[in-house]
Structure 1
Amino acid sequence: MLEFKKPEITDKQWVNDCLAHANSMNCEYTFGNLFIWQKSYSTEICKYKDFLICKWNDDGTVTYSLPLGEGDFTDAVDAIIDYAKSNGETPVIYGITEGYLGLMQEAFTGKFTYKYDDGNNDYIYSTEKMASLSGKKYHGKRNHITNFKKNNPDWSFEKISKDNIDECLALHSKWIENKDPDDEDYSLEFEAVKKAFEYFDELDMVGGLIRVNGEVIAYTLGEPQMNGHCFVSHFEKAPTDMIGAYPIINQEFTKNCLMQYEYVNREEDLGIEGLRKAKQSYHPEIWLEKCTAIYND
């Protein structure tokens, strides 16, 4: 029987050992993601033989990750099915990318229904293109950055460290105030941000910020995946009324911090139209489809 628990910082090593074998650039497959968002999604993890299995409970909807690691994949999926059924749940496995879909269909022919939601797919970009923004399709981005530099000649980029974390938190708090401070989604995101900064070094987080007149006006934060060639950006905040603030933090962070990676995963758009438009405007190299498997046997 599977035994789930809340992820703790001491779980990082064995979780990363399992994730190193995950054949996917899925944004969920980082320890930091599981650790910092645990309150929002009631995240729990389980070590089953040499696999990591995750469980999420989002407003009463329970879903599981694929078994991530080494060993008998079919046996581990069977363990998820048995566990869910023993708890009176329909087994639901979330975040299945193309490679794993083939494994699931071969091992469990006809036993799962597979559903897609475009809002769950990941936007993955070439770091080289994000750094250079060269070519016609990035003309608008370059113009925004040029205008930003012209209007703010004393701007500067800085890597995030223990010395400037409080300024980033203050910026995020101010950003929420300009939205809706009573919106639970913003509140839960801020809890995740605070957790990421609290365990900044332990989680191997990497971040950057932009200053204007000495004040932090934009920041971004994320972590590398265990596959070694992809970085996941978890948070990016800037004033929407300052033209070029988002493009410049994106470009400067990529140029100064991410060039050792081939790709940067900027996560999903969650079906939010404005977010979808913004992510599409950077022309992803890969649009990583992720489906949900619902047991029907």
Structure 2
Amino acid sequence: MPAMLADYPQTSPLTIELRPLLHPLFRQLREGISEFTFANLYLFRATHRYSVTALADGTIALLGRDGARAFFMLPFALPEAGLLNTLFHDHGMLKCASAAQARILAQQGYRIEEDRNNFDYLYRRQDLALLGGRNYHKKRNLIKAFTRSHAFSAKPLRTELREDALRVLEDWRRGAEEGGDYEAAREAVVLMDPLQLCGGIYYVESQPVAFVLGEELAGGASYAIHFEKAVPGYKGLYQFINQSFAAVLPEEYATINREQDLGDQGLRQAKMSYLPAGFVEKFKIYPEDSPSF
């Protein structure tokens, strides 16, 4: 039997026991916001101090904090007006609001701010799989440089290869300037079966060098890449795994969601270089007279 949620203002921690309750609800969402999967929220529960609660009208709300800044999220529905006002009073800002929610709340007098740093990048799966045309010329050259220089292989990332993926992650961590999402990525590999994450792992000369891990979004129309890690020192490796994984994804995934750039200009340039077909827009919403975060 699924775990029950605490009634607001009480909250429940975002534990794995809540997955049977929340995962089916997330699967019904069509907007394709990358944060709104059970796995993504669970893996970043410590980073954003997530908790979950049930409002008096039955609406489920997620609460969190980024540093000292409180926020709430409403992935499934907007509550009735009085409850929404209470959430704004208690938590200040609605985060990860969809475009549809932003339109509704703008009409009700709330202040809407575009959250460009958290827009998800959407690519046509076929574009990333084929990399055709002049605009992808440099990426094709990098992939050729990798494939000509190394004896490589690729396998589905399954439980029996978990230790190989963890080796990749440790090597990636030693080469990274900051820890980044290491803890979340490690837990994703360890819990990929209960969280139903799928991906691929890549080898050079039988040594694991990269892995990809993600899940479907938007009712099965899109595939989100939550984690893509590679060991340093292989020119063209990231371009190769990007193209290779897109090529083996089933055709029913029309798009690939490669998540946000978080305002990092280098990451933004890299994501734009793959020519996104569009974005999953997200918004921050405040009461009209409140300050921005």
TM over 0.5, yes or no? yes
**Alpha-carbon distance between aligned partners in 2 of 1:105 and 1:236, rounded to the nearest angstrom:** 36
- Distance (whole Å) between structure 2 residues aligned to residue 202 and residue 224 of structure 1: 15
Residue 19 of structure 1 pairs with residue 16 of structure 2: no
**How far did residue 145 of structure 1 move?**
0.9
Q: Per-residue deviation at 1:92?
A: 0.4
1:166 partner letter? E
Which is worse superposed, 159-168 or 12-21?
A: 12-21
Cα distance in 1, alignment partners of residues 184 and 32 from structure 2: 21
Of all paired residues, the percent bearing the same amino acid is 25
Q: Aligned to 1:147, what secondary structure does the other structure show? A: helix
State how many pairs are aligned.
281
Alignment of 1:264-275 (within 5 A): 264-275=256-267
Match 1:138 to one of 129, 132, 136: 136
1:51 paired residue number: 59
- Cα–Cα, structure 1 residues 209 and 67, in superposed 2: closer, same or farther, change >3 Å? closer
Shift of 1:126: 0.8
> Quick one: distance in 2 between partners of 1:233 and 1:113?
31
Q: In the alignment, what sits opposite 1:82?
A: 86
Mapped to 2, the partners of 1:25 and 1:118 lie a distance apart of 16
Could you say if the C-alpha distance between residues 79 and 171 of structure 1 is closer, same or farther in structure 2, counting changes exceeding 3 Å?
same
Contact 2:31 2:218 in 1 (8 A): no
Residue type at the aligned position of 2:172: W
Aligned to 2:176: 179
1:277 and 2:272 matched = no
- Check if 1:216 corresponds to 2:211: no
1:271 is displaced (CA, Å) by 1.0
Matched residues in 2 for 1:78 and 1:135: separation?
Answer: 54
Task: Give the aligned residue type for 1:95.
Answer: C
Q: Does the CA-based 8 Å contact 1:94-1:291 persist in structure 2?
A: yes
TM-score normalised according to structure 1 size: 0.87
Preserved CA contact (<8 Å) 1:113 1:294: yes
Distance 1:9 1:94, change over 3 A: same
Question: 5+ residue gaps in structure 2?
Answer: 1-7
* Secondary structure at the counterpart of residue 261 of structure 1: coil
User: Relative to structure 1, is the Cα distance of residues 101 and 163 closer, same or farther in structure 2, using a 3 angstrom cutoff?
Assistant: same
Aligned-CA RMSD value: 2.0
Match of 2:153 among 133, 152, 156: 156
Specify every segment of 5 or more residues in structure 1 that has no aligned partner in the other structure, as ranges.
Answer: none
2:64, 2:71 within 8 Å by CA — same for their partners in 1? Answer: yes
Cα deviations by residue, 1:215-262 (Å, 9 ceiling, x for unpaired): 111111111125111111111112454221001111111222343311
- Residue matched to 2:248: 256
Given that residues 19 and 226 in structure 1 are in contact (C-alpha distance below 8 angstroms), is that contact kept between their aligned partners in structure 2? no
1:100 matches 2:104 = no
| TM-score between the two structures when normalised by the length of structure 2 | 0.89
